[in-house]
Amino acid sequence: MARMADLYKRGVVPARMQQYIVEKVQEPGKSILIWRSLTPWGNYHVYDYARVLDANQQLLLRITVESDDIDQPLFAKEHPTEAAAGKRQFSLDGYKEGPMRGTQRTEVHMTFGFMVGEPTYDEVRADFLKAAMGQTAPLSDNVHPVQ
């Protein structure tokens, strides 16, 4: 991962490459593919990303470690020392196919937890595996239409 970060900083990796796969973890009846971002991407600034697939390779769940800019002012108010040191709030989020509403597809968004400062890869991996295996209950969830 350090080598990939260095290659990215030197402009050696393709400019449009935003993330790369780190590993595939096999669990009973599931596989978990884990990616690391070269630079945070998307509306919520995704740093790490996982896809949980069933035995037939069908997508069950997407999991992210995010650090949305909109969350940082409240974080700075609640954690002024950490914010002053340059730390950000991160969240562990999940996304899965939701129930149909007539002909409208929906998605379920789940928030599993929050972290002060960027977690290490080992922490991310452990959190991804717990969420993938149903060992972590979401703090909140909501269903919204898929655009």
Predicted pLDDT at 71? 94
Give the Cβ contact number of residue 108 at 10 Å: 16
3-state secondary structure of 74: helix
Q: What backbone phi and psi angles, to 5 degrees, belong to 71?
A: -85, -15
Q: Report residue 63's pLDDT band, with 50, 70 and 90 as the boundaries.
A: very high
What's the rounded Cα separation, in Å, for the pair 109 and 7? 34
Q: Enter the pTM of the model.
A: 0.91
Predicted pLDDT at 14? 87
Taking only the tens place, the pLDDT of each residue in 97-111 is 998 888 999 999 999
Predicted pLDDT at 100? 87
What's the rounded Cα separation, in Å, for the pair 21 and 19? 7
Predicted pLDDT at 97? 92
Q: Which two tokens stand for residue 100?
A: 């149909």
Is the pLDDT score of 94 beyond 90? yes
Q: For residue 65, which of 89, 98, 86, 81 has the smallest C-alpha distance?
A: 89
Q: For residue 54, which of 91, 90, 92, 96 has the smallest C-alpha distance?
A: 96
Is the pLDDT score of 147 beyond 80? no
Which residue shows structure tokens 């509403």? 101
